[in-house]
């Protein structure tokens, strides 16, 4: 492996890890607070991508500047979180918090199946591609390797900002503290006047926005087509499980490990590249069943 391929693999890995991390962050936040493994997270990711492509395509067709694609990504993510995430929590999940985990898993899986068909109904099965945002930022050359600014700088920067921002939000802001307290002890939180129902709704919407944002940010880098949600949910599950459920910083490191593992495998041993994320997960879980940073009993975020 020469320097050029090494750098290419490294850059691929970083940009891929950033995207996976953003999605996994939402998944681990929801799990950490609500103890629900949300399979429908993958659909929210896919719908975030579809919504962005449609919205950006529509606005740019009106003659707007390509740079406008960025705020539109955020708008799409928020729409996905509020319009889909909100009702899913309020109408469905709220009724099953005290039910067995198997049932919760089945319900979120059902939501996933429904949303997959909704995507086909709304956007059809033809792939979409809309890379205006990617082109708008241009390229950068590092040691002779040319890479897009969007993937090499913007995506990791967004991921890092979300990591630091979420940590700050949960520890330092009043709303974040109420979420953290509810995570640790729901009844104790309610007994001091924290409305756990509202905390759960807010957390789920935030997690859904992160999934939608992951999709929105991924949209200029890939073809948007049916099945992308399923791929991403499996991958972000691997990240979250490797890190330890509910571990925010851990998810960042696990995403890097898995992103790097996958991208280096593509250059070195492409046949197994798809397998690598799961191999990493299996190896980590064999040694530490609670994940890299998880602890068996404590419940924190």
Partner 1 sequence: MMLSFKDVSASIGIIPILRGLDVEIPQSQTVAMIGRNGAGKTTFLRTIMGFTRTTGEIRFDGKRIDTLHPPKRPGLGIGYAPEDRRLFSAFTVEENILLPAQAAGLDQAETQKRLDRAYEILPELREMAGRPGGQVSGGQGKMVALARALMLGRKLVLLDEPFQGLAPALAQRYSEALRALRDSDRSVTLIITESNPALLRGFADRTLVIERGEIAEGAPQTEGESA
Q: By CB under 8 A, which span of 100-108, 191-199, 200-208, 240-248 interacts with partner 1? A: 191-199
Footprint of partner 1 on 121-150 (CB under 8 A): none
Euclidean distance between CA atoms 75 and 85, whole angstroms: 14
Q: By CB under 8 A, which span of 128-136, 195-203, 234-242, 243-251 interacts with partner 1? A: 195-203
Q: Rule CB under 8 A: say whether 101 interacts with partner 1.
A: no
Q: How far is the CB of 180 from partner 1 (least distance, A)?
A: 5
Q: Rule CB under 8 A: say whether 100 interacts with partner 1.
A: no
Q: Rule CB under 8 A: say whether 248 interacts with partner 1.
A: no
Give the bridge partners for 300, in sequence order.
none
Question: How many residues contact partner 1, by CB under 8 A?
Answer: 20
Task: Answer whether 28's CB lies under 8 Å from 206's CB.
Answer: no
Residue from the set 181, 253, 279, 285 that interacts with partner 1 by CB under 8 A: 181
CB neighbour class for 161 (10 Å; exposed up to 12, middle 13-18, buried from 19): exposed
Query: Which one, 6 or 197, has the nearer CB to partner 1?
Result: 197
Q: Rule CB under 8 A: say whether 2 interacts with partner 1.
A: no
Euclidean distance between CA atoms 26 and 255, whole angstroms: 13
Q: Rule CB under 8 A: say whether 98 interacts with partner 1.
A: no
Q: By CB under 8 A, which span of 11-19, 26-34, 87-95, 182-190 interacts with partner 1? A: 182-190
Nearest to 78 by CA among 196, 199, 215: 215
Task: Answer whether 248's CB lies under 8 Å from 166's CB.
Answer: yes
Q: How far is the CB of 199 from partner 1 (least distance, A)?
A: 9
Q: Rule CB under 8 A: say whether 178 interacts with partner 1.
A: yes
Q: By CB under 8 A, which span of 2-10, 22-30, 145-153, 169-177 interacts with partner 1? A: 169-177
Q: Rule CB under 8 A: say whether 296 interacts with partner 1.
A: no
Q: Rule CB under 8 A: say whether 62 interacts with partner 1.
A: no
Q: Rule CB under 8 A: say whether 193 interacts with partner 1.
A: yes
Residue from the set 187, 286, 287, 297 that interacts with partner 1 by CB under 8 A: 187
Could you give the residue ranges of the DSSP H alpha helices within 62-147? 69-79, 86-87, 101-123, 132-136
Collect all residues with Cβ–Cβ distance below 8 Å to 281 and sequence separation of at least 6: 238, 241, 242, 258
Nearest to 165 by CA among 22, 37, 294, 295: 22
Q: How crowded is the C-beta side of 193, counted as CA atoms within 13 Å?
A: 1
Euclidean distance between CA atoms 69 and 63, whole angstroms: 12
Query: Which one, 187 or 271, has the nearer CB to partner 1?
Result: 187
Q: 214 to each of 58, 80, 244, how far by Cα in Å?
A: 20, 11, 20
Q: By CB under 8 A, which span of 87-95, 146-154, 174-182, 278-286 interacts with partner 1? A: 174-182
Q: Rule CB under 8 A: say whether 190 interacts with partner 1.
A: yes
Euclidean distance between CA atoms 216 and 145, whole angstroms: 26
Residues forming contacts to partner 1 in the complex (CB under 8 A) are 171, 174, 177-178, 180-181, 184-185, 187-197, 300
């Amino acid at each position: 492996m020469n320097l050029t391929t090494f750098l290419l693999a490294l850059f691929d890995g970083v940009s891929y890890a950033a995207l996976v991390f953003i999605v996994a962050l939402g998944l681990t936040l929801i799990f950490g607070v609500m103890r629900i493994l949300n399979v429908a997270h993958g659909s929210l990711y896919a719908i975030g991508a579809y919504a962005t492509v449609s919205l950006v395509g529509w606005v740019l067709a009106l003659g707007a500047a390509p740079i406008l694609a960025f705020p539109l990504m955020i708008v799409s993510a928020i729409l996905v979180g509020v319009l889909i995430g909100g009702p899913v929590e309020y109408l469905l999940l709220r009724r099953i918090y005290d039910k067995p985990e198997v049932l919760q898993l089945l319900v979120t899986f059902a939501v996933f199946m429904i949303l997959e068909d909704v995507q086909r109904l709304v956007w059809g099965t033809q792939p979409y591609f809309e890379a205006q945002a990617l082109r708008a930022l241009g390229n950068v050359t590092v040691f002779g390797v040319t890479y897009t600014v969007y993937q090499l700088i913007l995506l990791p920067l967004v991921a890092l900002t979300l990591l630091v921002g979420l940590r700050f939000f949960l520890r330092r802001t009043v709303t974040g503290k109420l979420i953290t307290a509810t995570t640790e002890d729901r009844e104790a939180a309610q007994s001091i006047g924290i409305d756990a129902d509202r905390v759960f709704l807010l957390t789920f919407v935030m997690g859904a926005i992160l999934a939608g944002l992951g999709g929105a940010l991924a949209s200029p880098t890939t073809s948007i087509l049916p099945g992308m949600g399923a791929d991403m949910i499996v991958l972000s599950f691997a990240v979250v499980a490797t890190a330890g459920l509910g571990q925010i910083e851990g998810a960042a490191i696990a995403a890097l490990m898995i992103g790097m593992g996958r991208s280096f495998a593509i250059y070195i041993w492409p046949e197994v590249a798809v397998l690598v994320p799961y191999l990493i997960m299996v190896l980590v879980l064999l040694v530490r069943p609670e994940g890299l940073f998880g602890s068996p009993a404590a419940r924190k975020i």
